[in-house]
Structure 1
Amino acid sequence: MEIVRTQVLNATTPDGQAILRAVFCGQGGECVTVDMADADGSEELALNRARAILVQTATFGFALNEYDANSNGNFDEVAVTSVSDSSGDVYVFDYRDGDASLRIPPSRMPSFEAAKCEAIRCAVDLLVDLQPGTDDLTGWLVRLSDERGELLYTVNVHEAETARKAAQ
């Protein structure tokens, strides 16, 4: 889909919670909508966050090629190419997926703090899927690296649980 128009709207969930709604519209009239909690922030930040969510959603659980589909998640090489500019830096998110991990394509974020907040938010979302007694409720949930692969930040289960409780 070739994006011809974007829009950020303030919206409300059926239970009255304020959200941001990012709408991406294509040439043929198709639109993709991303609803996000935490309605604070600029339009640019909202669009960047919505793009990151779309990338995460589009690639989560899907192999990029046959080699990845047949691997155990320990990929031989991940090549990241980008150039940093005034619109932010590139960050790479790894998500714990059972006993393996899932690395999504690089995301441009306006700042390290924005990337860190996104990592924490995603870790809180992953908590919902963890089952006491079945899943390992220790260790990391999300790892944040720079474009060279240097680990910058890790969100563990305890930190995600603390953030979830603080948000309630």
Structure 2
Amino acid sequence: MQVTWTEIEQDLSAEAYPILRVMFKGEGGECVIVDMADVDALAGDEEAAIERAKAVLVRTATFDTAVNDYDAQSNGNFDQVTKTQVTDRDGGIYVFEYRDGDGSRRVPPSMMPSLEAAREEALRCAVELLADFDLNTGPIPDWLIRIYDGHGNLLAVVDVHQADAARQTADRKADSGDGS
């Protein structure tokens, strides 16, 4: 879907749990809506709300949803996903692998403008993944997200320490009121 318009609204109809809604609208009437709790943390910061909604969409793509019996019985590497193009002058195809407990999950290939853009996206998602790990109990995972090219070559790894440093930097910026 080519996103042509993004809208953000607050839904106060649920009295106990207000919702921040981000709507990604595309050509041809397509629309993806992401409803998020914790409205106060995102209130007034449209860019943060959009980035969090994007991260939710990326993480949602890793859920165990089977389209058919073959998908339900497979190992998650759906061979019907084909790549028609590995790179072009505007960027490349990147595959993200996310830590999922003791295992991992790969999401379908994504077109990104550059490896640096892919790293920034991986780091942003890794910060979100930190919330799923209790770093005080058990061993610290050696990686959270791996980035591969369209041929399966490992290009970059985001680990817990990188994600934690990025989270701390974002927290400092938020505390100082510097949103940049």
TM-score (normalizing by structure 2): 0.63
Match of 1:39 in 2: 47
User: Would the aligned equivalents of 1:123 and 1:155 in 2 still touch at CA under 8 Å?
Assistant: yes
Stretches of structure 1 lacking an aligned partner (at least 5 in a row)? 13-20, 41-45
2:92, 2:100 → 1: CA distance?
25
Shift of 1:24: 1.9
Structure having the higher helix fraction is: 2
Stretches of structure 2 lacking an aligned partner (at least 5 in a row)? 11-21, 36-41, 172-180
Shift of 1:85: 2.1
User: Would the aligned equivalents of 1:80 and 1:148 in 2 still touch at CA under 8 Å?
Assistant: no
Shift of 1:129: 0.9
Pairing of 1:41-60 with structure 2 (within 5 A): 50=54, 54=57, 56-60=59-63
User: Would the aligned equivalents of 2:8 and 2:46 in 1 still touch at CA under 8 Å?
Assistant: no
Q: 1:24 to 1:165 in 2, by over 3 A?
A: same
1:150, 1:115 → 2: CA distance?
14
Matched to 1:6, the amino acid is T
Match of 2:25 in 1: 24
User: Would the aligned equivalents of 1:25 and 1:31 in 2 still touch at CA under 8 Å?
Assistant: yes
Over alpha carbons, which structure has the higher Rg?
2
Matched to 2:4, the amino acid is T
Q: 1:57 to 1:97 in 2, by over 3 A?
A: same
Q: 1:5 to 1:165 in 2, by over 3 A?
A: closer
Matched, 1:67 2:47: no
Matched, 1:152 2:152: no
Matched to 1:33, the amino acid is I
1:5, 1:38 → 2: CA distance?
16
Match of 2:177 in 1: none
User: Would the aligned equivalents of 2:98 and 2:146 in 1 still touch at CA under 8 Å?
Assistant: yes
Q: 1:109 to 1:53 in 2, by over 3 A?
A: farther
Match of 2:5 in 1: 7
Matched, 1:126 2:129: yes
CA RMSD of the aligned region, Å?
Answer: 4.0
TM-score (normalizing by structure 1): 0.67
